[in-house]
Structure 1
Amino acid sequence: MPEAFQACVRTPFATVGIRATDKHITHFRFLAPTVPALAPPRNSLAYLACVQLQAYLDDPKRAFDLPLLMSGTHHRIAVWEAMCRIPAGKTRTYGEVAQELKSSPRAVGGACGANPLPIVVPCHRIVAASGLGGFMGARDEGFELGIKHWLLEHEGALRG
C-alpha cells in the first residue's frame, strides 16, 4: 500500500500515508502500524508534510503550515474550518460546532468522518458530549479510537 502515497511516516499510533501533488497536500491517511515507512518521500511537499508531522509529534502545539487541497460541500468545508480554529489541547463537542454553524451534530460528525486530512485538520478535537465520540467511522474501542485517544492525550486534552 505505500505505493499509493508520496510518503509514509511511522508514528507511535499508526503509519501515516501522505498524498501530495507538486502543489498541494491532498490526504493524510491512518494505516496499520505494520505498514512500513516510505523513504525518501516522493516529492518536496510530501517531504515538507513529513517534517511538519514530526514537528507536531515532538511538540503538539506546533501548527501545520501546508498548502492543502480540500474539496467538499459548503457544510463540510465550514466544519473543517471550525476544526482548525480549535487549539491544540482543547476540544469542542459535535453539538457546540453544530450550534455555531446552525447545523446538526450528526452532520458535523459526517463532515469529521469525511475529513481527508486528519491531524492537519484536527477532527480528533471534536468529541461527543458524553466522551470521545467516534473517529474514522468507528464508535467502539479499537484502532481508530485508539488514534483519537492518543492524539488528544498527546495534546494534553486528556489526562491518563
Structure 2
Amino acid sequence: MTGQRAGGPIEWLTVASPLPSGPLAVGVTELGVAAVQFLADTLPAGLPQARDERRTAAVCAAFEAYFAGRARRFELPLDWRLTDGPHRTVLQALHGTVPYGETVTYGQLARRSEAFPDLAESPGLAARAVGQMMGANPLPVLVPCHRVVAADGLGGFGSGRVGLDVKRWLLTLEGWLAPTLDWDGPS
C-alpha cells in the first residue's frame, strides 16, 4: 500500500441523535467505525463524505435502535486506528467488560484493563490517567465512556456542560440513572 492506511481513509456521515449535543458525526472506514464526534456541526468543512450506502444505512440503523431503546449493543465493527498502546488497552477493556446499564469507576477500569503495571504504587494517578483517556475516546457511545464514573458520583464528560448532559442522557437511557421530569428519551 502506498501512503494509504489499512482500511482506507475515514469518511464521514451525520447521524440523527436525540442527545443534547444534537446530531453525531461518524467516521467510517472499510474496517468499521473509527470515530464518533459530538457536535457534528463543528467538524471542518470538506471532510470526505461516506459513499457506501450499505455501510451508512447500517450505522444509522444501529444508532437509531440504540437511541430508541431497542438495542443494548452495537453490532458494528470498530476500526481502532485512532488509539494505540495503553489507551487502546483501556478502551478495549471498557468495550468488552462494561455492558449496557452498568458502570465502572475510573480506578476499577484502571485495574480491570491491566494497562498500569505500577497501579498499587499510585492508584490515584492511574484513575486520573483513565479519566484523561475517556476524554480522548475517539469512539464515544460505541466504546461507552459514559459508563465510567467517579468513585463519588457521576464524574466528568467532554465538551463541558453539554457533555455532562449527554452522559446523564445516556445513563438514563440505559437505566442507571432514574429519569427526571424533563426526560425526553424513549419510555
Q: CA contact under 8 A between 1:112 and 1:123: conserved in structure 2?
A: yes
User: For residue 157 of structure 2, what is the amino acid of its counterpart?
Assistant: F
1:80 aligned to which of 79, 91, 97: 91
Q: 1:25 aligns to what?
A: 33
Whether 2:56 is the aligned partner of 1:52: answer no
- What is the CA RMSD across the aligned residues, in angstroms? 2.5
2:175 aligned to which of 140, 143, 156: 156
Identity %: 38
- What is the CA–CA distance in structure 2 between the aligned matches of 1:108 and 1:119, rounded to whole Å? 16
Q: Deviations over 1:21-47 (max 9, x none)?
A: 233211111116899xxxxx6323232
Q: Deviations over 1:67-106 (max 9, x none)?
A: 2111323211121112111111110000111122353101
Q: Which runs of 5+ in 1 are unaligned?
A: 36-40
- What is the CA–CA distance in structure 2 between the aligned matches of 1:119 and 1:135, rounded to whole Å? 12
Q: CA contact under 8 A between 2:65 and 2:71: conserved in structure 1?
A: no
Whether 2:164 is the aligned partner of 1:145: answer yes
Secondary structure at the aligned position of 1:54 is classed as helix
Cα distance change of structure 1 residues 32 and 132 upon mapping to structure 2, 3 Å threshold: farther
- What is the CA–CA distance in structure 2 between the aligned matches of 1:150 and 1:34, rounded to whole Å? 21
Cα distance change of structure 1 residues 93 and 146 upon mapping to structure 2, 3 Å threshold: same
Q: 1:42 aligns to what?
A: 51
- What is the CA–CA distance in structure 1 between the aligned matches of 2:91 and 2:70, rounded to whole Å? 19
Q: Deviations over 1:97-139 (max 9, x none)?
A: 112235310111122112111111101000011111111264x
Q: CA contact under 8 A between 2:14 and 2:40: conserved in structure 1?
A: no
- What is the CA–CA distance in structure 2 between the aligned matches of 1:22 and 1:115, rounded to whole Å? 20
1:125 aligned to which of 147, 169, 172: 147
The count of corresponding residues between Structure 1 and Structure 2 is: 150
- What is the CA–CA distance in structure 1 between the aligned matches of 2:38 and 2:70, rounded to whole Å? 18
1:59-74 matched pairs, under 5 angstroms:
59=69, 61-71=71-81, 72-74=83-85
Cα distance change of structure 1 residues 32 and 146 upon mapping to structure 2, 3 Å threshold: farther
Q: 2:183 aligns to what?
A: none
Q: CA contact under 8 A between 1:89 and 1:156: conserved in structure 2?
A: yes
- Runs of 4+ in structure 1 over 3 Å off: 32-35
Q: 1:89 aligns to what?
A: 101
Range 86-95 or range 44-53, more displaced: 44-53
Q: Which runs of 5+ in 2 are unaligned?
A: 1-9, 44-49, 117-125, 180-187
Whether 2:122 is the aligned partner of 1:105: answer no
